[in-house]
Amino acid sequence: MLNITYISDSKSTEIYPLNVGRCESTLHFGARSSAQQWKEALRDMGDGDLELNSRLLPTSNAVNLIKGLKPGDFITLKDEFIAKFKKYGTESYKTRDVETDLKGEDPLLFTEFAYDYFKLCDIGIREDLERLKSAWSVRTLSENEREAWMLSGVIIHGDLNKLHISPGVKLRSCIINTEGGDVVLGPNSEVMEGACIRGPFTLGESSQVRMGALIYGPTSIGKHCKVGGELSNVVFHDYSNKAHGGFLGNSVLGSWCNLGAETSSSNLKNTYGKVKVYSGGEKTLVKSELIFCGLLMGDHSKTGIHTAFNTATVVGAFCNVFGPDTPPKHIPSFSWGGSNGLEVYKVEQAINTARKVMARRDIKLSPVIEVEILKLFSDSEEDREK
């Protein structure tokens, strides 16, 4: 059996707020987490203990490199840790830098910043596509099925072979366009009446695209999510909702988030200039090379109705955001409020809300997780005091 352990290095601070309370390997590279993709890609590697950099993404080149490891290999790239492989009986490690090995090949991909997850969504969908099709038992439509669906109001533009349907999918009077990339609909997912989708796009298991939604790829929606309004190049992790109107573009939401009706985020400054983004390492806004950046939100955060976020707003985990005007560009974890000021979101109240929300999905918040939330609250105290 292959045991995989993920190592978070010093650069992982820049993945904030998405990695508050979770490892970077659990974040979605395209449709699914890096960890899930690594597990499937390396299933025939054999027995042993493998340590991987948690920011290393499972591209074809990276998978081939890792599969070629021998017991005792410790590999780096320009002194940056990549992987270490050990089998029973391995007593020592031989370190080698793989920069020379990779010449002439596609470079390894690491996530450097939280916004990389929406920037790399297209690549993630393409790299995982074959594994995803197998995992979700998808099929493509025949021409006869396409004609039958069109008679029922489903309109499909583009290559029919790029529309992948899992068991239990429901489509009703919607428009799907695969000219820009594949569209993959997960098991028991639903696209409701009037929705318009342009690929690349993935919809996770038991997730729902609401009536009249407008979705531009590359976009990926995790499992058990509800999305509506207008979305453009966004990544939703599992159990998060934006079920109503409002625009969200070039954004990433963690798990268990909920955006109230008409919540919107700017993703472009009126000056069309490059944006500043809050740095988890520097603890301040820093210049980026981005022109487009919307909302970056950690797990278990919520917004009230009509919340309006400024370009490149960063919201930590366990926040409750509301107010009549745009809130600050950085909202620390466990914050309550918005444009009229921020208060501490009492940890007991945050845990109680999480318990209720998860119970709606028949998931119990365990005592172990509650202890972890208490630690997150303590760890985030310094940010809230600034």
The alpha-carbon radius of gyration of the chain (Å, integer) is 21
| Class level of CATH domain 137-238 | mainly beta
| C-alpha torsion sign, points 282, 283, 286, 289 | positive
Q: Which tokens hold the place of 116?
A: 């990389």
* Residue 300, φ and ψ in degrees, nearest 5: 65, 20
- Copy the structure tokens of residue 315: 């919201």
Question: Residue 113 contacts by C-beta under 8 Å, 6 or more apart in sequence?
Answer: 14, 15, 277, 288
- Interatomic CA distance for residues 357 and 354, integer angstroms: 5
The domain ranges of the chain are 2-113, 137-238, 246-386
pLDDT tens digits for 271-287? 999 999 999 999 999 99
Write down the pLDDT at residue 386.
64
Q: Distance (Å, rounded) from C-alpha 110 to C-alpha 267?
A: 24
Mean pLDDT value across residues 26-54: 96
| φ/ψ (deg, to 5) at 334 | 60, 45
Look up residue 5 and give its two tokens.
């352990």
Strands 247-253 and 155-157: unpaired
Global pTM reads 0.95
pLDDT digits (tens, 9 = 90+) for 277-314: 999 999 999 999 999 999 999 999 999 999 999 999 99
